[in-house]
Amino acid sequence: MITQVLLKEDSRAPADISPQTYTSVVTRRFLQLLPGRDHEAAALAALIEGPIPLSSHSDIHAEGRPAAEAVVLLDGLACQYRNLDSARRQMTGFITPGDFCDFGFLSNSPVRQRVMTLGPATIGRIDLGQMASLANGLPNVILAGMRAASIQQASAQELIVSLGTRDAQQRLAHLLCEIYVRLDGVGRVDASGQFDFALTQSELGEALGLSNVHVNRTIQQLRKRDYITMVRSKVTVLDFAGLAGIAGFSPAYLRAH
């Protein structure tokens, strides 16, 4: 029984979607990390228990608790965050479908930061004993996890760079480029360049160190330049090259090889 996932299950989640539809993102993500290892990707995906729908702003991991199971995001968006006091919260990274929500299970370490959903989301669980047994025969399963953890750390470092040196347009453009690339890699960007992005302007401000007013102004600036549209929880990237140019974005840090 998992102890660190604080479930607020979303009963509105579609009941007719098969588990295979969700776990395909895990397979695609694995093959980004280790191309050509289809049988190992399939073996890992077969261990996933779920899907488990969660409501918006559910805590997936609580800080300081040991990792009892590996939890993978199957749908939606989640973030790592730290509460500074009763009124302040800092987001420190984002989790997209196919990603593990924390990598403490790799070293039997406690969860370092809280993880919560941004909008309705779906997770899956993997028993650590079963994963260990799988890794005994297929050690590349652990290698893929280590590569994913390295990419997550690189992503967090880029967010620090944004907070320290990029202006408001560059911060937002860089984040949107990163999320676009990560979602596109697991088939979650449609042909028009649209993807789900369930962050409020207030939450964007938390992540990017900007006020609500500044976030709104920056979104309008990118809209006027025909780089993006943003309606409710949907973003459409109209000109990825232009957006990447503003941000100085290169996807190299998101690659495992």
Q: What is the reported pLDDT for 23?
A: 79
Q: What average pLDDT does the structure give for the chain?
A: 88
pLDDT, tens digit, 9 for 90 and up, residues 172-201: 999 999 999 999 999 999 999 999 999 999
Look up the pTM and report it: 0.89
| Position 82 pLDDT exceeds 60 | yes
Mode of pairing for the β-strands spanning 69-83 and 59-61:
unpaired
Q: Helix 240-247 crosses helix 168-184 at what angle (to 10 degrees)?
A: 130
pLDDT, tens digit, 9 for 90 and up, residues 143-173: 999 999 999 999 999 999 999 999 999 999 9
In which residue ranges of the chain is CATH 2.60.120.10 found?
Answer: 19-162
> What is the rounded distance in angstroms from the CA atom of residue 158 to the CA atom of residue 204?
15
- CATH number for 19-162 (one of 2.60.120.10, 3.40.50.880, 2.70.98.10, 3.40.920.10): it is 2.60.120.10
pLDDT above 70: percentage of residues in the chain? 89
pLDDT above 90: percentage of residues in the chain? 74
Q: What is the reported pLDDT for 1?
A: 32
Return the amino acid letter for 198. A
So what CATH class is 166-254? mainly alpha
Q: Helix 212-224 crosses helix 201-208 at what angle (to 10 degrees)?
A: 100
> What is the rounded distance in angstroms from the CA atom of residue 233 to the CA atom of residue 138?
39
Torsion of CA 75, 96, 54, 26, to 10 degrees: 50
In which residue ranges of the chain is CATH 1.10.10.10 found?
Answer: 166-254
Torsion of CA 46, 52, 53, 58, to 10 degrees: -120
Return the amino acid letter for 103. F
Q: How confident is the model at residue 86 (pLDDT cuts 50, 70, 90)?
A: low
